[in-house]
């Protein structure tokens, strides 16, 4: 029995060792300027990431284990090979950039990341601490901050090298003409509809830890205002004082399912029951209690080229179409430049090698 136990023990060790060896075997080797292996483990990790990312985009949420497993099993060899090709192409470009002395400095990298901090400042109303920012990055991407910075560095390096080698191609994208904008508008006119919309000023009392306390304060404010627009403005000024227990805000609310899901049925119905200049009763949303004053109303309308896409903005339908067509052309030119660069780096078939037998497809 003791001998059998020892044999089983060593069998388990050898099985684990064999699995580890398999993970460390090369799935491919890139050797433009140096020999750089892509291990089986690296490939499988990237394949899993791509599957999860695409599923999350399609589902609008993170996939379950069963959904991920089903998607993984449904991939054919060609689809799996596309992921490996992306990894090979990335390493080829990075090696070429290093060869041609193209690099990304820490200052350039920080400039790329700064907009993410700026958006977080807008969300929380202050500068986030380093720990808060790192936590937000982890929640959003699943990566620790150092790994995220390295991923950003690689992506920006790819962009810089593409601009360095293919600037002549990237500059060929022509802006859309007025005729092209008009053609697009006429074909998609039915999509350029402004829903019924109100512009409002608002007193909002967050639920906080005690919803009943928030309701009591809201009732008191409604009684104080008494439906008077002038009194509403007076009370709103108090909401700008710290620790007032309520805040003030203003904006536009369109009447559509997406907005209703965000603010709740009661607040939506209340807003659109008011005439311009009227003050509401206490309304409940998904976040708290609210008192509204409608300052402008907009009827549903099919927008013309010179109409604003959304009230309160300066972007016209013409601007919106111009930007969309321009971006589409830039993407087409970018794809062309990328393909040309990769084709040049793969030329001759000697800059990389794939080990199909190790990949198990």
Does residue 10 have a pLDDT over 70? Answer: no
The reply to whether 242 and 119 lie within a common domain is no
Does residue 129 have a pLDDT over 60? Answer: yes
- Structural domain total, the chain: 2
Strands 36-39 and 26-30: antiparallel
Does residue 120 have a pLDDT over 50? Answer: yes
DSSP of 81-145, one letter per residue? HHHHHHHHHHHHHHHHHHHTT----HHHHHHHHHHHHHHHHHHHSSPPPHHHHHHHHHHHHS--H
30 falls within a domain: yes
The reply to whether 152 and 289 lie within a common domain is no
The reply to whether 297 and 353 lie within a common domain is no
The reply to whether 37 and 144 lie within a common domain is yes
Does residue 339 have a pLDDT over 50? Answer: yes
CB atoms within 10 A of CB 280: 22
Residues near 344 by Cβ (< 8 Å), separated by ≥ 6? none
179 falls within a domain: no
- Which parts of the chain fold into alpha helices (H)? 2-24, 40-59, 65-74, 77-99, 106-124, 130-141, 145-165, 167-170, 178-187, 211-225, 229-238, 257-263, 265-271, 317-346, 356-359
The reply to whether 32 and 136 lie within a common domain is yes
124 falls within a domain: yes
| Residue 264 backbone dihedrals phi, psi, to 5 degrees | 100, 155
Least confident of 9-18, 81-90, 105-114, 241-250: 9-18
What pLDDT score does 320 carry? 96
Q: From the CA atom positions of the chain, what is the Rg in Å?
A: 29
What pLDDT score does 60 carry? 86
239 falls within a domain: yes
Q: Are 320 and 304 in contact (CB under 8 A)?
A: no
The reply to whether 262 and 145 lie within a common domain is no
What pLDDT score does 232 carry? 95
2 falls within a domain: no
Any idea what the CATH number is for the domain that residue 84 is in?
1.10.4030.10
321 falls within a domain: no
What pLDDT score does 124 carry? 76
Segments forming the whole domain that contains residue 240: 193-302
DSSP state of 297: E
Q: How far apart are CA 44 and CA 358, in angstroms?
A: 12
345 falls within a domain: yes
What pLDDT score does 242 carry? 82
Least confident of 155-169, 237-251, 262-276: 237-251
The reply to whether 144 and 208 lie within a common domain is no
For the segment 46-69, the average pLDDT, to the nearest whole number, is 91
Measured between alpha carbons, how far apart are the two ends of the chain, in Å?
41
Any idea what the CATH number is for the domain that residue 278 is in?
3.10.50.40
335 falls within a domain: no
Residue with tokens 């790819």, as numbered in its chain: 158
302, 323, 349 - which closes a domain: 302
The reply to whether 139 and 219 lie within a common domain is no
Q: How far apart are CA 308 and CA 192, in angstroms?
A: 10
| Residue 65 backbone dihedrals phi, psi, to 5 degrees | -60, -40
The reply to whether 128 and 165 lie within a common domain is yes
The reply to whether 145 and 264 lie within a common domain is no
**Which own/partner pairs from 326-329 qualify as long-range (CB within 8 Å, at least 24 positions apart)?**
326/173, 326/175, 326/176, 329/173, 329/174, 329/176
The reply to whether 43 and 81 lie within a common domain is yes
Mean pLDDT of the chain: 90
The reply to whether 151 and 68 lie within a common domain is yes
- Which has the closest alpha carbon to 70: 85, 60, 55? 55
């Amino acid at each position: 029995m003791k001998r059998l136990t020892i044999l089983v023990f060593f069998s388990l060790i050898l099985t684990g060792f064999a699995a580890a060896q398999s993970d460390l075997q090369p799935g491919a080797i890139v050797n433009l300027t140096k020999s750089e292996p892509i291990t089986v483990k690296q490939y499988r990790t990237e394949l899993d990431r791509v599957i999860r990312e695409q599923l999350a985009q399609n589902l609008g949420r993170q996939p379950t284990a069963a959904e991920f497993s089903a998607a993984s099993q449904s991939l054919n060899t060609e689809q799996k090979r596309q992921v490996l090709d992306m990894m090979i192409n990335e390493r080829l470009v990075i090696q070429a950039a290093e060869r041609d002395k193209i690099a990304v400095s820490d200052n350039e990298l920080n400039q790329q990341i700064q907009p993410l901090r700026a958006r977080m400042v807008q969300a929380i109303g202050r500068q986030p601490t380093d720990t808060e920012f790192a936590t937000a990055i982890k929640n959003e991407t699943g990566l620790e901050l150092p790994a995220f910075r390295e991923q950003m560095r690689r992506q920006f390096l790819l962009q810089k090298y593409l601009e360095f080698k293919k600037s002549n191609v990237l500059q060929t994208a022509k802006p859309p003409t007025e005729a092209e904008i008009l053609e697009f508008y006429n074909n998609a006119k039915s999509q350029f509809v402004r829903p019924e919309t109100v512009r409002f000023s608002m007193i909002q009392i967050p639920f906080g830890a005690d919803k009943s306390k928030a309701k009591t304060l809201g009732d008191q404010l409604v009684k104080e205002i008494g439906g008077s627009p002038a009194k509403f403005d007076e009370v709103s000024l108090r909401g700008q004082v710290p620790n007032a227990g309520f805040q003030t805000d203003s904006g536009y609310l369109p009447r559509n399912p997406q907005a209703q899901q965000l603010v709740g049925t009661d607040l939506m119905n209340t807003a659109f029951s008011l005439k311009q200049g009227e003050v509401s009763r206490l309304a409940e949303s998904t976040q708290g209690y609210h008192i509204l004053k409608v300052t402008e109303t907009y009827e549903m309308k099919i927008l013309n080229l010179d109409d604003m896409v959304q009230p309160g903005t300066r972007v016209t339908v013409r601007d919106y179409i111009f930007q969309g067509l321009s971006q589409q052309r830039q993407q087409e030119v970018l794809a062309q430049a990328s393909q040309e660069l990769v084709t040049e780096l793969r030329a001759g078939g000697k800059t990389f090698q794939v080990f199909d037998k190790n990949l198990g497809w």
